[in-house]
Amino acid sequence: MSVRVRFCPSPTGYLHVGGVRTALFNWLFARHAGGVAVLRIEDTDLTREADGAIEQIQRSLDWLGLEFDESPAKGGPNSPYLQSERLAFYRETALDLVERGLAYRCYQTADELAAARTVARETDDPASATRLHRDLATAEVRAFEAEGRPAVIRLRVPLEGAVTITDLVRGEITWENRLLGDHVICRADGVATYQLANPLDDVLHGMTHVIRGEDLLPSTPRQVLLLEALGHRYPITAHLPMILGPDRKRLSKRHGAASVEEFRDAGYVPESVINYLALVGWSFDDATEIMTVDELVERFSIERVNPAPGVFDHQKLAWMNGVHLRGLAPARYEQALRGYLITSLSALATEPRLGEAVALVQEKVATLGEFEGFAGFLFRGVADDPEALAKVAATERVAEILAACADAIASLEPFTVEGVELALRNVCEELGVKPRVGLLPPRVAVSGRTVSPGLFESIVFLGREETIARLVALSRAIV
């Protein structure tokens, strides 16, 4: 049977790092196996739904290039992919289980439940609190109904036996049924809970594997039991390790950037986000780290997933982003850069010569976010940096150097990178100053800063007139 997996976020907010990793591993697993990846939205709890969350999740996946074969947006042969569109069916299923005695109505109020729980907690049967209405007499049921008490539906979990799974990441795991308790599969308002909707949809969507976070591991036995009651077999599972913050707690917004969009807005490129995330919890071998998406697809295997949780390392992601940025084909770099500048509402976004500037910065910056500060002078005036100004002003014989540079540039022929380099080095030699000293004034004159892309390339990019104008402007500024 061909592989079918799903990524099923609930639309409670943006797509966070942990979610992306789950989406990515599912996607890699499917693509590697030539199977199908499904995107399903688990929106059974409308009260928790955030406006626009579905669109935002889809947008994030699109930006990353993780294309799902079946999804709410795309549709597919197993519609719907939105749980809110299948509520009636979940309810019927729950009712059917009640009919068959495999589930039952529980009329406990929240207070009663809470009280029972605290008591049961101290006993050797802590799950008993969930079973209080498991065997209600008909008269009692009638009384509750007459009272108009709302009821939830609980699954009648066997008191004996155990559930054992063989997780692809963790191996064999067993839970005793009696410790599980009778969990709620349908709320008092008639809407199914995750414990019913999720496994049922997995069957309806023909899932062969369930690849999800370790936080969901404890709900596996409940879902296995539910599907058994329904006469289905639970898919093969693979529970991925959690992604932690530096404090070893689950990664969240308080640890800094936690959503895909934040990384995009910080100038990260999908190539590196994917590569980095693939490596938290998985590795190919003892040395390979930098990989393209295609290579990841080819090399990914769930067996090599590490069961231990991992700390998200911003620094390593930043480094990796630089590596990918440097390796990007110029056209792709320009595309990514323009996309970045557009979303960050930069005026540079429409510059026609952006592509030419790529060659000057590609080796220099680790994120697209540095572009504007680093290379903005190529498109507008020099940067305003008093410190740089002070530093040139303190340089010996600045005026002389600037004048000589201007002269050299003025008469230079041909006006090429090599030509400019030769000319400026000659200026240094004639004035008897080392290049690292002599090239500082023209660098500040041209860029406004002490740190810049290659000086000679920058000068050629700006052109003869503009360069001379800037050299002159600086000499005037420092006298």
Residues 418-477 that bind RNA (CB under 7 A): 421, 435-436, 439-440, 443, 450-457
Question: Is residue 45 a contact residue for RNA (CB under 7 A)?
Answer: yes
CB of 433 to RNA, least distance (A): 11
Q: In degrees rounded to 5, what are phi and psi of residue 342?
A: -65, -50
Size of the site for RNA (CB under 7 A): 89
Please give the Cα distance from 379 to 376 (Å, whole number): 6
Segment contacting RNA by CB under 7 A, of 72-80, 350-358, 359-367, 406-414 = 359-367
Please state whether beta strands 103-106 and 152-155 pair in parallel, antiparallel, or not at all (unpaired). Answer: antiparallel
Nearer to RNA by Cβ, of 13 and 270: the residue is 13
Pick from 87, 323, 359, 393 the residue near RNA by CB under 7 A. Answer: 323
Q: How far is the CB of 309 from RNA (least distance, A)?
A: 6
Say if strands 162-167 and 171-176 run parallel, antiparallel, or are unpaired.
antiparallel
394 in contact with RNA (CB under 7 A): no
Which value, in Å, is the radius of gyration of the alpha carbons in the chain? 31
Query: Is there binding between residue 364 and RNA (CB under 7 A)?
Result: yes
CB of 345 to RNA, least distance (A): 25
SS3 452: coil
Residue 113 near RNA by CB under 7 A: yes
Please tell me the distance from the alpha carbon of residue 436 to that of residue 258, in angstroms, as a whole number.
41
The least CB distance from residue 180 to RNA, in Å, is 8
Should residue 241 be labelled a site residue for RNA when binding is judged by CB under 7 A?
A: yes
Residue 59 beta carbon to RNA: minimum distance, rounded to whole angstroms:
19
Contact region for RNA (CB under 7 A) — 258-266, 267-275, 334-342, 362-370?
Answer: 362-370
Nearest of 452, 265, 247 to residue 365 by alpha carbon: 452
Rule CB under 7 A: say whether 291 interacts with RNA: no
- Closest distance of CB 250 from RNA, Å: 4
Round to whole Å and give the CA distance between 478 and 389.
8
> Amino acid identity of 183?
H
Q: Hey, is 163 helix, strand or coil?
A: strand
Stretch of residues binding RNA (CB under 7 A), selected from 70-78, 93-101, 137-145, 178-186:
178-186
The span from the CA of 444 to the CA of 470, in Å, is 9
Does residue 237 touch RNA according to CB under 7 A? Answer: no
Least distance CB 115 / RNA (angstroms): 12
Q: Scanning residues 181 to 210, which ones bind RNA (CB under 7 A)?
A: 181, 183-184, 187-189, 191, 193-195, 198
List alpha helices for 300-414, DSSP H. Answer: 314-327, 330-343, 354-361, 371-375, 386-393, 398-410
Helix (H, G, I), strand (E, B) or coil at 186: strand
Strand partners, 206: none
Beta carbon nearer to RNA, 291 or 366: 366
Active site (annotated) includes residue 253: yes
Q: What are the backbone angles phi and psi of residue 106, rounded to the nearest 5°?
A: -125, 125
Binding status of residue 389 toward RNA by CB under 7 A = no
Contacting RNA (CB under 7 A), which of 279, 409, 474, 478?
A: 279
Instruction: State yes or no: residue 70 binds RNA (CB under 7 A).
Output: no
Backbone angles phi, psi at 5, to 5 degrees: -130, 165
Kindly tell me the burial class for residue 69, based on how many C-beta atoms sit within 10 Å of its own C-beta (0-12, 13-18, 19 or more): middle
Compare residues 44 and 475 and give the one whose CB is closer to RNA. Answer: 44
Query: For residues 286 and 92, what is the distance between their CA atoms, to the nearest angstrom?
Result: 52
Q: How far is the CB of 249 from RNA (least distance, A)?
A: 5
Our finding on whether 302 is near RNA (CB under 7 A) is no
Nearer to RNA, 162 or 342 (CB): 162
Q: Is 331 in the site for RNA (CB under 7 A)?
A: no
What are 318's two structure tokens? Answer: 């930043």
Residues 158-177 as x/- pattern, contact with RNA by CB under 7 A: ------------xx-xxxx-
Cβ-based neighbours of 210, under 8 Å, separated by 6 or more: 5, 6, 202, 234, 235, 236, 237, 238
Of positions 1, 137, 146, 287, contacts RNA by CB under 7 A: 287
Question: In three state form, how does the secondary structure of 247-284 look?
Answer: CCCECCHHHCCCEHHHHHHCCCCHHHHHHHHHCCCECC
Catalytic one among 253, 364, 391, 434?
253
Closer to RNA by Cβ: residue 146 or 479: 146
| From candidates 135, 160, 303, 396, binder to RNA by CB under 7 A | 303
Q: How many CB atoms lie within 10 A of CB 378?
A: 23
Regarding 281 and contact with RNA (CB under 7 A), the answer is yes
Q: Which of 50, 67, 121, 331 binds RNA (CB under 7 A)?
A: 121
Measured in Å, how far apart are the chain's first and last C-alpha atoms?
80
Closer residue to RNA, CB minimum distance, 258 or 365: 365
Confirm or reject binding of residue 110 to RNA (CB under 7 A).
yes
Which of 100, 142, 253, 304 touches RNA by CB under 7 A?
304
Active site residues: 253
